Each structure stands twice: as C-alpha cells, then as structure tokens.
Amino acid sequence: MEVTAVIPAHLDSRRLVRKVLRKIKGKSLIEHVYRRVKESKLIEGVYVASSDREIIDEVISFGGEYIETEKKHNCGTSRVSEVASSINSDIIINIQADEPLISHELLDSMAEHMMKDRGIDILTPVKKIVNINEINDNSVVKVLFDKDNKALYFSRLPIPYNSEIYYKHIGIYCFRKSFLLNYPTLKESSIDKSEKLEQLRFLYNGYKIAVFVTEYETIGVDTEEDLKRVEEILG
C-alpha cells in the first residue's frame, strides 16, 4: 500500500467529554470520520489508533480496523508515530477523529500531491479565511507561508499583523513514513509549548512543511453546538 490513513483517537477530550463516541444521526463521531475516509480512491488502508478499549470496541462494532497503542501520547502525531513502523506505506495521513465532514476529495488531492513530489516530508492543507470572526479566534490556527508554499509559522494570533488576507490551518497531515519514524527524536521548543501547536516542533527541528491551499471547509467538533451544526448539514 502506498497511502494509509490513521485516525488517532482518545476519550479524554476537554471541551466535549467523550466526544468521539457521541452520536450523530445514530452513528458515533468516530464512525462518521472513518466512513468518510473510506470513500477515498487513493487511501488503501484506514485504521483508528487508540489505547481506549471503548473506542476500539466501537470500531469493531461498525466493522472498522484499528491498531491499539500505548496510553502515553499527548498529541495525535505521537500516536501515529507509534504505529508507523507496523504500516507498510510510504505516505501516512493523520486525520483528526473529530472531523465528521472530512472531504475524501481533499484527502485524495493531498495524497496525489505527495505521490508526485517525493521531496515533501510533510504536507498540510490551509484555507483562506472568509469569516472575519475567525481572524481573532484563538481556536483557529493561522499560518504564514512563502512563495514556494512552505510554512513559515503557525499561530493562534492573527498573522501577519494588519493583513488583508489570512489563511487558516486545517489539521490534517500527510507524512512520509520516514519522518514519523524519526519523530520521537525531535526536541520540544518554547514556541510549540507556548502556542500549543505540535507542528511548530517540526519547524523548530528543521523540517519543511508544505502547505496545500484548498477551498474545502471542515468542521471540527469541540462543542454541543458543533454537534448540532454537523447534524443539520448531514440532514
């Protein structure tokens, strides 16, 4: 398999308790995400990575595949890194477990981009901000990138200062397996600790992050209101 998707999942979410098991239209949040990813044409394997038995049992109940992990992880990339050695793929896509409207077209476009450009270790999507309320929303991560579409910095604050155009980061990553195998050696830094953004650790340690500009919108589920929005969209 050239492309595999891993959905890291855990139960100890802070803002919406046990959110990956919450039901939307009779299906759990994690099942919605899994089934959307399965619609991809280029992703050959999809796994939920978790240390929580309840999540694993839920995945089994809807016929999904899983990889059991250790409990020690403090971010999704760390969990995906653990399972990377057991996956026979050059490209591993890290998909958040709270994105029930994730676009399989976006995933295929990103996978294709990585397949064509073997020089990319990390690829992540960004989107131009059209809702001005998101500019000063600290939960919306803003990103700056250069003329070659390589990320310069990510921040919860509006960057660049006093700009007419802002881009937000969508939390999906295409990784080379080689990067994930090296991930445990990366040093933490003051910037990723202060911003609480794991991708800043990649930059600090010298890795380039290629950005993929998209028009696709996603809705991450963090609140009861988000659950209701998704339910309305799904009809």
- 208: nearest Cα among 79, 140, 139, 119: 119
Tell me how far apart the alpha carbons of residues 56 and 68 are, in angstroms, rounded to a whole number. 8
Task: Please tell me the predicted confidence (pLDDT) of residue 235.
Answer: 75
Question: In terms of DSSP H, where are the helices of the chain?
Answer: 29-38, 53-61, 76-84, 104-116, 177-182, 190-195, 199-204, 224-234
The residue type of 183 is Y
Residue 232 burial class via C-beta count within 10 angstroms: exposed 0-12, middle 13-18, buried 19 and up: exposed
Task: Please tell me the predicted confidence (pLDDT) of residue 219.
Answer: 82
Q: Which residues contact 37 (CB under 8 A, 6 or more apart)?
A: 5, 7, 43, 46, 95, 102, 104, 107
195: number of Cβ within 10 Å: 18
Task: Please tell me the predicted confidence (pLDDT) of residue 89.
Answer: 95
Task: Please tell me the predicted confidence (pLDDT) of residue 108.
Answer: 97
Task: Please tell me the predicted confidence (pLDDT) of residue 63.
Answer: 97
Task: Please tell me the predicted confidence (pLDDT) of residue 1.
Answer: 65
Strands 173-176 vs 122-128: parallel, antiparallel or unpaired: antiparallel
Strands 122-128 vs 66-68: parallel, antiparallel or unpaired: unpaired
Mean pLDDT taken over the chain = 94
Tell me how far apart the alpha carbons of residues 145 and 136 are, in angstroms, rounded to a whole number. 19
Strands 210-213 vs 45-50: parallel, antiparallel or unpaired: unpaired
Per-residue model confidence as pLDDT tens digits over 171-210: 899 999 999 999 999 999 999 999 999 999 999 999 999 9
Max alpha carbon distance in the chain (Å)?
Answer: 50
Q: Which domains does the chain show, CATH number per domain? A: 3-234 (3.90.550.10)
**Residues of the chain falling short of pLDDT 50:** none
pTM (predicted TM-score): 0.94
The residue type of 169 is H
